[in-house]
Amino acid sequence: MADKWTPVELLRHARHDWLNQVQLIKANLSMNRPERVKEIIEEIIEASREEARLSNLKMPKFAEFLLLFNWNNNALRIKYSVESEQADLSEKDDILFHAASYIAEAIVPHLSGFDEPVLTISLDPEAMQTEFIFHGGLSGHDALSDKVKSYFLAHKSLKVIETYTKEKEFYTCISF
C-alpha cells in the first residue's frame, strides 16, 4: 500500500475520478448517445453501491487497499465485488488485507502481453470465501502458482478451495 495520503490528496484523486465520469457523460451527450449515458450512470451507481457494501464490512485495511489500489498508477487494475449488504468481518481484516496485497504484488512481476491486466476480488461474507480472478497476459504462471500456494500453506487461517493458473488467467478461491 502507498504512503498514507492526506485528506487533500484523497479528495484530489476522487475529484479526478468524478471529473472523468462527468466528461464521459458529457461527451456521450454531445454525440447524442443517451443510451450510453444511461449505462455510464448505472455503472457509477453500481460502483457506489459496491463501495458502500465494502465499507459496511468493518474491514478498514482491506477496504482501503481495494479503494485506493488503482490510484497508485499500478500496471495491474483491481475490481471487486461484495456479495452481502452488511457483515462484521473486522476480525478478518488483517488476514484478507495481507492476502489481497500479497496476491496483487505476486502477479505484477508476471504481467506480460498487451491485455489490460485486471484482478477481480469477490468476497462472499456468508460463505466466508474470497475469489481472486486475474485476466491478462501472464509469464511464468507456474512460478506464480507455486508462490501463491506456498503463501496460503503458511497461513493456516486461510484454506485454499481451488486454484489454477493458465496463460491469461489466474484463479484462487479461499475460505477464511
Domain boundaries, the chain: 7-175
- Residue 60: what pLDDT? 97
Lowest-pLDDT choice from 9-18, 114-123, 140-149: 140-149
Taking the mean position of all CA atoms in its chain, how far away is CA 113?
A: 20
Residue with grid cell 484454506, as numbered in its chain: 159
- For residue range 50-81, list pLDDT tens digits in order: 999 999 999 999 999 999 999 987 899 999 99
Integer CA distances (angstroms), 79 to 32, 56, 70, 118, in order: 29, 17, 9, 7
Which DSSP symbol is given to 72?
G
The answer to whether 154 and 137 are in contact (CB under 8 A) is: no
Q: Are 147 and 138 in contact (CB under 8 A)?
A: no
Looking at the domain that runs over 7-175, which CATH code has it been given? 3.30.565.30
Burial class of 80 by CB neighbour count within 10 A (0 to 12, 13 to 18, 19+): buried
- Note the pLDDT tens digit of each residue in 27-42: 999 999 999 999 999 9
